[in-house]
Structure 1
Amino acid sequence: MRLTLFTIILFISLTGMSQTGRETRIDSLESALRTAAHDTTRVNILSELARSYGGIDSLKCFENGFKAIALSKKINYLKGAADSHINLAGGYLDYFDVENAKKHFKIGNDFADKLIAKDSSTQNMKIWLRGQYNLGVAYGYEGNVEKEIAYVSKTIPIAQKMGDKMFVANGNTNLAIKYNNMSRFDKAYEMFKISQEQFKEIGNPEDIIYHSLSFATSLAQMDSLDRMKSVLDIAKTNLDKIPNSFYVGLYYGELGFYYGRSGEFDKALKALDRSSEYYKDHKSNYYFKLLYQRYADIYDKMGNFKEAKAYTLKYINFSDNEHSVNDKIGSYYKLAKYEAGLNDYQQAYNYLKGYVTALDSVRASELENDMQELEIQYKTATKEKEILALKNEKSETALALEKKKSQNYMLWAIASVLALVLFIGYYGYNSQLRKARKKEQQQESEVSLLKQEQQKQLFLAMIEGQENERKRLAIDLHDGLGGRLSGISLNLSKLNKDEPKEYPGAKLKKVMKDLDDSLTELRTIARNMMPETLFKFGLKAALKDYCSSRTGSDTKVTLQFYGTEKGIDLNQQVTMYRIMQELINNAIKHAKASEILVQFIRDINKVDITVEDNGIGFENEDRTSIVKGMGLSNLKTRVAYLNGKLEFHSEMNEGTTANVQINLDAT
């Protein structure tokens, strides 16, 4: 994430501090447009003007882009249509309008596909490459890194065949940055080394500096400080070749970061001072925000909480006022630490409250969004099943009616020949047929009522399950987390009231431990509400995590997982997880079990789930009254959703065994 931020900062810095060359080119294009004699020439110039005004003047960028598109359409100029749509999309991307950028990239790429199908010249292939590459970049702006990598990877081999070394080097650097952001550091390092050699072969100092600064930031994330310094030295060597380069501020900012990580704080501050001096006339530059954060980190490590606090406040109050919730959470926590270090415990408490409130807001929002998404998925799946069932029923009815219609035609043909002989028989047959139809309609009506009643029961069970889960969450938050936070508040208030003469290290340490315990409890509640491990690592990992969390001094939960969850739909995995979660909770809460065995056995398309405990058990005649208190309706609803079977086997003081059998082909 830090490398993505650095790359965006680098892009903004370059576009904000290197306008002179572009303005000269714009003047030349405007002059050429006034003397252009042919419409195709006008399209090419308008399209290039749209590209050149990107990031400088949005009005002129879009005005020239749309003029180029309109004129291309009028004269049926395929190359102009492809180029102008792609350049207009680039303008939208310069102003972070990703939706419009993607829209025009896709239109331009369609035209480019048709263009190279007719003429795959180098000039046309460069338009195609630019459109495909930048559509990937647009997906990257949305956070879809895998799709961006797919588009960039598709363009690099083609550019390599064309001999476009600069495109290939930039493409490999971009891939390296994306792999780094995905924490695939081995792959990122490999791609950076490849592009480093390619930029070295090209020999342009500015390109080598750009690559080196990006590479150095990645190496910092890999904790490879020695290599980071050697790459920064390459950047410095090439900086010396370009007097007054706009990379100077960025270089010293990264050098300060390196010294800060290496523990050489005096050198780090001097380097950051040089970077700040470079940007002193551009204090609205986004890079200042990163510099404030680095100053704060270094002063924090030096134990100078006063300066660390000052720079953190500058960071959080930066003029762009664009901070993620995680930024605020991290800043509040650090400010609380600094205020405590400065013995201002009241202010430390206030920042801690802000930290907890922001953190709680994020968790609650994430949980609510995940619950809504699951509910929508469930309703969608149920609706699709209903539609499929209705279609099948309609087809069967149509076939039956067609068959009966054919029989009627045949009877009418026979009746026309043997009217007198078969009149009585025909009348009797027709009467029986009406009765059969009436009976069939009655049966269909009864089946429909039964289906409606069953659906109503399933819906009520689902609502009841949701309400019970919400009540449980409210109780956990009120009784558990609420009590802990109240205790933290009282302890901090007492610290402030007592006005200790000496640093209350032990008491503050206890408060911080209570806060950590509160956060642990919040994560436990969140895990119970929504198994995040399941979505990231699969059913086996989620079950292992949950069984481990329920194992304590009084209860041991053992998981035996045979087979794999691969190929099982995510909704089905979530439902299986909830079934086993409910059975484990019942064994602990109702059966008072000290040992619980959980088995998951997958054999091709059959799944057997067994939860066995050594609890108090129950007699068969008491089963109905007991399982009502064990959430049987919720269990039945989830098992029914998987078209499975649920059975209980139990004896008093002999424990209980619950078996669930699921046929994946039937779900």
Structure 2
Amino acid sequence: MKRTICLACFVVCASLWGSAQAQKSSRYADSLLLITRQSSSDSSKAAAHLLLSYFYVFRDPAQARQHLDQGRKTGAAYPLLHALSYYYGGVLFYGASDPVKSEASFLKADSLLSRINTKESISFRSKSWRNIGILRQASGDEEGFADILIHKAIPLAQQAGDSMAVGKNYLDLSLVFKNTMQYSKATGYILQSINVFRPNQAIGDLIVAYNTGAENYVLDKKYPEARTMLDSAWKLLKDYPAKEMYIDYYTAESMYYDETKDFKKSLASIDKGVALAKEYNKRYEEQRLLLQKFYTHYNQNDYTNARQVLIYLAEQPEMMGTITNRLQVFNGLAETNAGLGNMPLAYSWLKRYSQLSDSVNESKLTNDIHALEIKFNSQEKQKEIAALKIERERAALSAKNNRLINWLLGTASMLLLVVAAFSYLFYRNNKKLSEQQRLNHRQQLKEIEQQQQIHFSQAMLQGEERERRRVAGDLHDGLGGMLAGVKMNLTGLSTSTAGNGSELHKVIGQLDSSISELRRIARNMMPEALLKFGLDIALKDLCGSMMSEAVKIDFQSFGIEDDIPQDTQVTIYRIVQELLSNAIRHAQATHILVQCSQNSGTFLVTIEDNGKGFDTSLVSQAKGIGLGNVKRRVDYLHGNMEIVSAENEGTTINIELNVGE
């Protein structure tokens, strides 16, 4: 009998903030809850909520859902956290036994993470695809799982430099080949995973790899190699604290003893494993051991006990949840019933097995069914089959006599159909061509119109900036110089005038204030820091200049490059300047966070304030808040702007700009 016991299980990692062992601790959950209540950072709160959703997936699904929703809401302004909320959503849907929504959530996470070029995001993309593959495998798509591992999960793990993830993906791939009886290929990937885990001192993963290798060698009839793998696993297990790891060892050991005909030791290993599985409430692992117990009984021709084990397993949802296991149970029930002489029931189970089996086993199953049919049917049934065969031969002879006439009629009909088809295709192609030309013409007109609008906006913005520079220069160099000269003359006059000296000093003080205000206006119209030191320094100075005792502005910048064209720098500066002005004057904010970052040709701006907020549905009707100017500049840089706000809840504005040449 074919024997493959599916080992794949749904594995998700939370390596960003904590270990799997920590997640089992109530103190770990308490510390995360404390962060959600006391931290002043939205990003820290969001991260803690997401990890709590993972912690409660199998403990309290309702709490897991609440933490996921809160984490997604709190981390909406942070691209990585927003993407990870869908990753943990995939975990939550899996825990709720909804594989369709689970896969959709992992795909959404991968799409969002692909926009963030960091090792962390790439590593979570690899984990997302691995989980998608496991979902596909659970539905019986072993080939799809292998394809995802080879073309998605493993390359992404390698790109992220996550060697442990690479090793685990190799081990998953070995299970695919083991389950499809390609044992030599499975061996290669098992050894590769061991070579990854051994230098990293990943003891738990090494134990799993050795147990998997032992099972694969047993199925490949390489018993000395299987014994070596079992001995290697045993050495590590003796000092390993997690005693539930013995369960898989006993499974592999029982397979080894069963194949080497030491059935007594095989059953002893199974009993040890079952006791441990019950102690740690590992239902699926317990059922894997019972499936191995069936094989041991079956190989001793003890069909009664073998069938009893399978009857129990056929009622267990954990075992029957995968196609591979259902095939084994159905086939085993067919074999044991046949061995006990119950041919009608054997035939019924083998028919169910045939309907479920894939195309690879189809011909073998057909032969098995035919063999049971021969045992089941009486001699009269065989005569009836023979009579039907004779009748078919007569029908074939009659059909042969009519074939020539049918062929002639068919040929004429085909010629007419071909002519009609060519005529129809010619008409349809001409119609499609005309429609395509019309659509192309309309598209060209639309593109010309859009291009004209872009040129108009570009000319208007450039003209506005040139006028700002001219007026700033005139104010600073012309009027500013004249006022400075007047100040100097008045200062000299004050020293020679005794009686009116105090009045002159008062006038000089007013004049000095006027010169300072004049220079401030000139700097706002064309900041010197932008021209001299670049965009990063200019934005920092802008935030500093707009701070006051009543308004605190935090400025954060990441990777802003110096080679951005100056016109583009000025446009970005104006956008930030306008949004800060809106936050202070209109939103009456007391705390503003400004984040600016650059990733190659993309420039990201996030401005978050604690002001009074506004109804975003009324943006198009708003007057005097300058958002129209901001939108025009964003469009000029081929960008996008997203506004998240509500009355009395502050405002968050996310802008993505194209600054490439």
TM-score calculated relative to the size of structure 2: 0.51
1:305-337 Cα distance to aligned partner (Å, 9 max, x none): 443344344333447684766455324323324
Q: Distance in 1 between matches of 2:69 and 2:289?
A: 40
Q: Distance in 2 between matches of 1:135 and 1:112?
A: 15
Partner of 2:42: 39
Partner of 1:608: none
Contact 1:292/1:314 (<8 A) preserved:
no
Partner of 1:259: 257
Structure 2 CA distance for partners of 1:485 and 1:634, relative to 1, 3 Å: farther
- Give, in angstroms, the shift of residue 286 of structure 1: 2.0
- Give, in angstroms, the shift of residue 52 of structure 1: 2.6
SS of equivalent to 1:263:
coil
Structure 2 CA distance for partners of 1:31 and 1:4, relative to 1, 3 Å: farther
Partner of 1:589: 396
Structure 2 CA distance for partners of 1:326 and 1:113, relative to 1, 3 Å: closer
Q: Distance in 2 between matches of 1:127 and 1:10?
A: 13
Partner of 2:340: 339
Partner of 2:9: 8
- Give, in angstroms, the shift of residue 58 of structure 1: 2.2
Partner of 1:111: 112
- Give, in angstroms, the shift of residue 55 of structure 1: 3.2
1:488 aligns with 2:485: no
Partner of 2:346: 355
Partner of 2:86: 85
- Give, in angstroms, the shift of residue 283 of structure 1: 6.9
Q: Distance in 2 between matches of 1:22 and 1:77?
A: 28
Partner of 1:137: 134
Q: Distance in 1 between matches of 2:128 and 2:411?
A: 52
Q: Distance in 2 between matches of 1:9 and 1:124?
A: 20
Contact 1:9/1:286 (<8 A) preserved:
no
For 2:258, the aligned partner's letter is G
Partner of 1:201: 199
Contact 1:3/1:177 (<8 A) preserved:
no
Counterpart of 1:54 (choices 30, 52, 57) is 57
Partner of 1:386: none
Q: Distance in 2 between matches of 1:8 and 1:639?
A: 58
1:149 aligns with 2:152: no
For 1:268, the aligned partner's letter is S
Partner of 1:278: 276
Q: Distance in 2 between matches of 1:362 and 1:9?
A: 26
Contact 2:244/2:280 (<8 A) preserved:
no
- Give, in angstroms, the shift of residue 487 of structure 1: 8.2
Partner of 2:125: 128
- Give, in angstroms, the shift of residue 150 of structure 1: 3.9
Structure 2 CA distance for partners of 1:591 and 1:164, relative to 1, 3 Å: same
Contact 2:36/2:48 (<8 A) preserved:
yes
Structure 2 CA distance for partners of 1:326 and 1:123, relative to 1, 3 Å: closer
1:430-474 Cα distance to aligned partner (Å, 9 max, x none): xxxxxxxxxxxxxxxxxxxxxxxxxxxxxxxxxxxxxxxxxxxxx
Structure 2 CA distance for partners of 1:164 and 1:55, relative to 1, 3 Å: same
Listed as ranges, the gaps of 5+ residues in structure 2 are: 13-19, 359-368, 421-661
Q: Distance in 2 between matches of 1:642 and 1:215?
A: 60
- Give, in angstroms, the shift of residue 129 of structure 1: 3.2
For 1:590, the aligned partner's letter is L
For 1:259, the aligned partner's letter is Y
SS of equivalent to 1:257:
helix
Contact 1:305/1:338 (<8 A) preserved:
yes
Q: Distance in 1 between matches of 2:196 and 2:166?
A: 8
1:483-517 Cα distance to aligned partner (Å, 9 max, x none): x96983668xxxxxxxxxxxxxxxxxxx9xx99x9
Q: Distance in 2 between matches of 1:142 and 1:266?
A: 35
For 2:128, the aligned partner's letter is G
Contact 2:304/2:336 (<8 A) preserved:
no
- Equivalent residue pairs, number: 397
1:161-201 Cα distance to aligned partner (Å, 9 max, x none): 54422112112212222233344433322111111111111
Contact 1:98/1:142 (<8 A) preserved:
no
Q: Distance in 1 between matches of 2:10 and 2:28?
A: 24
- Give, in angstroms, the shift of residue 207 of structure 1: 1.5
Q: Distance in 2 between matches of 1:231 and 1:169?
A: 17
Q: Highest Rg: 1 or 2?
A: 2
Structure 2 CA distance for partners of 1:289 and 1:189, relative to 1, 3 Å: same
Q: Distance in 2 between matches of 1:109 and 1:289?
A: 34
Cα-Cα RMSD: 4.6
Q: Distance in 2 between matches of 1:636 and 1:48?
A: 72
Q: Distance in 2 between matches of 1:246 and 1:636?
A: 75
Partner of 2:587: none
Partner of 1:101: 102
Q: Give the % identical residues.
A: 14
Structure 2 CA distance for partners of 1:55 and 1:214, relative to 1, 3 Å: farther
Q: Distance in 2 between matches of 1:185 and 1:639?
A: 54
Q: Distance in 2 between matches of 1:586 and 1:634?
A: 24
Partner of 2:309: 311
For 1:65, the aligned partner's letter is L
Partner of 2:300: 302
1:353-395 Cα distance to aligned partner (Å, 9 max, x none): 223234446667999xxxxxxxxxxxxxxxxxxxxxxxxxxxx
Contact 2:157/2:166 (<8 A) preserved:
yes
1:603-655 Cα distance to aligned partner (Å, 9 max, x none): xxxxxxxxxxxxxx86xxxxxx6657x799899999999999xxxxxxxxxxx
Contact 1:115/1:124 (<8 A) preserved:
yes
Contact 2:212/2:252 (<8 A) preserved:
no
Q: Distance in 2 between matches of 1:40 and 1:139?
A: 33
Contact 1:44/1:80 (<8 A) preserved:
yes
Q: How does 1:378-397 map to 2 (within 5 A)?
A: none
Bigger mean CA offset, 260-269 vs 153-162? 153-162
Structure 2 CA distance for partners of 1:230 and 1:284, relative to 1, 3 Å: closer
1:55-79 Cα distance to aligned partner (Å, 9 max, x none): 3332222222222223333xx3211
Structure 2 CA distance for partners of 1:280 and 1:10, relative to 1, 3 Å: farther
Contact 2:57/2:92 (<8 A) preserved:
yes
- Give, in angstroms, the shift of residue 236 of structure 1: 0.6
- Give, in angstroms, the shift of residue 143 of structure 1: 3.6
- Give, in angstroms, the shift of residue 295 of structure 1: 2.1
Contact 2:284/2:319 (<8 A) preserved:
no
Contact 2:90/2:105 (<8 A) preserved:
yes
Q: Distance in 2 between matches of 1:305 and 1:107?
A: 50
Structure 2 CA distance for partners of 1:313 and 1:158, relative to 1, 3 Å: closer
1:534-558 Cα distance to aligned partner (Å, 9 max, x none): xxxxxxxxxxxxxxxx9xxx9xxxx
Contact 1:295/1:308 (<8 A) preserved:
yes
Q: Distance in 2 between matches of 1:43 and 1:26?
A: 14
Q: Distance in 1 between matches of 2:128 and 2:374?
A: 57
Contact 1:137/1:148 (<8 A) preserved:
yes
Bigger mean CA offset, 142-151 vs 63-72? 142-151
Structure 2 CA distance for partners of 1:320 and 1:102, relative to 1, 3 Å: closer
Structure 2 CA distance for partners of 1:20 and 1:49, relative to 1, 3 Å: closer
SS of equivalent to 2:208:
helix
